[in-house]
Structure 1
Amino acid sequence: MSYFWPMPQVSPLEFDGRCYDEIFDPAFHWELTCHMDIPCSYENLKAVREAHYEAFEAYATGQFERAGFQSEKSANAMLHRVSKDAEQLMSSRDSLCEFEEIQSKLVREIRSNKRKYIRSDGLKLAVTLDEESRDNHLFSLRQLLSDLYISAKRAPNRKPQKPALHYAPKIRPNGDPDMDKLEQAVWDRNWDATDSFENDMRRWKTRSQAHKVPKDQALQCFLRKFQSALTSLSPHPFTHDHNYGGTIQNVSRTVVAVELSFSQHDHKITRQIIVTDIRKINVETLV
């Protein structure tokens, strides 16, 4: 095995303070390759190492996503704040347009700002200024803020309220209908309200389910990547079952390979958890 190493560092990225090559040494890759009945050539060892790194990187990404997960209620609250702030900015811009001299001061600063952000394609705040308009230079900026406001209003996934859209609007003292409550009900249904409350509920439930991040998110990310590598390199199937191909083994090679991976890094991932998640991934593949 020694004549296959050292190989170039697979990545400088660190996982919990250690590089990938510090967590998974050459002996691990050799054992993994032999266990999966992959011929131990330099090319195969390199392919196994790179494929396993991609799977482990996906695992780390899944951990990061899980750690930063916000409940749907929290996400809705954040998006609501964005919509309110965008609305406030639009209101401030509208007030500014009433005073041409003050607006001109702001426009001059936008153009002359030496520390302005410029994207790689040259996009910058000054590009949004309407040069042809003498007294309304911030019109396009206002439209962009409006887009942000509308998007932030639509983004939350709120449970549909059936009664709200079935009440006639109240009449104000001046005789005009009070549309505020009805308008808010439309917002609450994400502007995508259908003629069927049942359809709205199904859509809401689907989006709520998609928002969730399962506790085993990281392991599932690992297995999806590992599955594609395993099926291309190993003669053995990606399965939790130990009985396949007319042979009987005590434990699936896939299960042992995954267990071997996490014995080096995360002892909380047990064999039973691995078996359960392999089942889930295989069900996904069949759907």
Structure 2
Amino acid sequence: MAKGDIQDWIECDDTEPEDLVTPELLAAFTSIAGLPRDDDSLIATKDALAGALEAFMWASLEQDALHPESAENKALEIAARDAGKLYDTLLALQEYPGVEARLETAIQSNPHLYELEDGKTLKDLLTTRHNIFRAYRELLVDLQVCLEDTSNRQPKRRVLEDPDGGVAIGLEDDEEFAARVKAWRARSKERALPKDHALREFLRALAPYWEANSPHPFTEGMYFKEANQTISHLVDAVERVMAVASPKTKRPQIVTALREVRPPLS
């Protein structure tokens, strides 16, 4: 997202997404979208727009902060390695008689343990005495495996090296190797964010409110040659919002993003 539009208010500590939803913008959006104008409806519409703009903001930041795939792979592999190290370190505690018992007492008496949504804490992950971290270690194994699976390194041919320095033996044919390369390329493409990532996230966040309250369909509309553009209340309304939040976002970009995020037309 270029400087001079949404980045200006992202970088301003005192500006919130809802600050962009001025009375003028709210009135224009409501009118174009055909939404009710009573006080409760206006409040709901403002909240929906602020939520969509917040999604736009975070997606813009996410896009700006995207790292190269090689850096992501390295971070994942370091985390996987450290998960394995923690497994080994916790297992090694069993070599010190009495340590696990004292550690369990410390955990059980700690009044400030982090609580999960269901109210469980570290206490609930403890298992039998003399092996109190068995369940925790098994979770670390699962985490390590998943971290390794998420890493997406370019495949190398699977071969069996000759310990005497002879010719290596291939463990897969060309077709199998080509399939792995194809899968790697597909995963690499999936992790990349589209140029209009922030706009798509804005539309996804706005969609439920629009579909529940506007009489107009959530589509980019049909193209009319005479107008040299699509005719759509939704595009008109989003264009009005982007004129305030991201002036460099143009109508054709909104149309393209909508085609990507809306449900397929029946």
Do the two structures share a fold, i.e. TM-score over 0.5? yes
Larger Rg: 1
Answering whether residue 155 of structure 2 is matched by residue 160 of structure 1, we say yes
**Residue 95 of structure 1: which of 92, 96, 105 is its match?**
92
TM-score (norm 1): 0.68
**C-alpha separation between the residues in 2 aligned to 1:198 and 1:55?**
42
1:101-142 Cα offsets, whole Å, 9 max, x none, are: 3333333323333433233434222333333x4x33333332
**C-alpha separation between the residues in 2 aligned to 1:277 and 1:171?**
55
**Residue 121 of structure 2: which of 98, 121, 124 is its match?**
124
Look up the SS of the partner of 1:238 in the other structure. Answer: coil
Report how far residue 156 of structure 1 moved. 0.9
Aligned residues: 243
Identity among equivalent pairs (%) = 24
**C-alpha separation between the residues in 1 aligned to 2:45 and 2:227?**
23
TM-aligned CA distance change 1:40 to 1:171, over 3 Å: closer
1:189 paired residue number: none
Look up the SS of the partner of 1:97 in the other structure. Answer: helix
Equivalent position amino acid for 2:52 in 1: A
Q: Is the 8 A contact 1:230 1:238 kept in 2?
A: no
**C-alpha separation between the residues in 2 aligned to 1:113 and 1:45?**
48
Look up the SS of the partner of 1:18 in the other structure. Answer: coil
Equivalent position amino acid for 1:128 in 2: L
Equivalent position amino acid for 1:84 in 2: R
Equivalent position amino acid for 2:57 in 1: A
TM-aligned CA distance change 1:33 to 1:125, over 3 Å: closer
1:11-35 Cα offsets, whole Å, 9 max, x none, are: xxx9653344532222222223334
Answering whether residue 250 of structure 2 is matched by residue 270 of structure 1, we say yes
TM-aligned CA distance change 1:91 to 1:258, over 3 Å: same
After alignment, is 78-87 or 44-53 more displaced? 44-53
TM-aligned CA distance change 1:56 to 1:198, over 3 Å: same
Q: Is the 8 A contact 1:130 1:138 kept in 2?
A: yes
**C-alpha separation between the residues in 2 aligned to 1:118 and 1:254?**
43
Q: Is the 8 A contact 2:18 2:47 kept in 1?
A: no
Report how far residue 261 of structure 1 moved. 0.8
1:74-116 Cα offsets, whole Å, 9 max, x none, are: 2211111111111211222233222213333333323333433
Equivalent position amino acid for 1:199 in 2: A
**C-alpha separation between the residues in 2 aligned to 1:147 and 1:235?**
47
2:73 paired residue number: 76
1:62 paired residue number: 59
Q: Is the 8 A contact 1:30 1:40 kept in 2?
A: no
Answering whether residue 193 of structure 2 is matched by residue 196 of structure 1, we say no
Answering whether residue 221 of structure 2 is matched by residue 233 of structure 1, we say no
Look up the SS of the partner of 2:160 in the other structure. Answer: coil
Answering whether residue 184 of structure 2 is matched by residue 207 of structure 1, we say no
Question: Equivalent residues in 2 for 1:11-160 (5 A)?
Answer: 16=12, 17-36=14-33, 38=34, 41-42=37-38, 48-131=45-128, 133=129, 135-160=130-155
**C-alpha separation between the residues in 2 aligned to 1:120 and 1:39?**
37
Report how far residue 205 of structure 1 moved. 2.1
Answering whether residue 197 of structure 2 is matched by residue 217 of structure 1, we say yes
1:62-81 Cα offsets, whole Å, 9 max, x none, are: 22432443332222111111
Report how far residue 148 of structure 1 moved. 2.2
TM-score (norm 2): 0.72
2:167 paired residue number: none
2:5 paired residue number: none
Q: Is the 8 A contact 1:83 1:152 kept in 2?
A: yes
Q: Is the 8 A contact 1:56 1:222 kept in 2?
A: yes
- In the alignment, structure 2 segments of 5+ residues that lack a partner are 1-8, 165-170
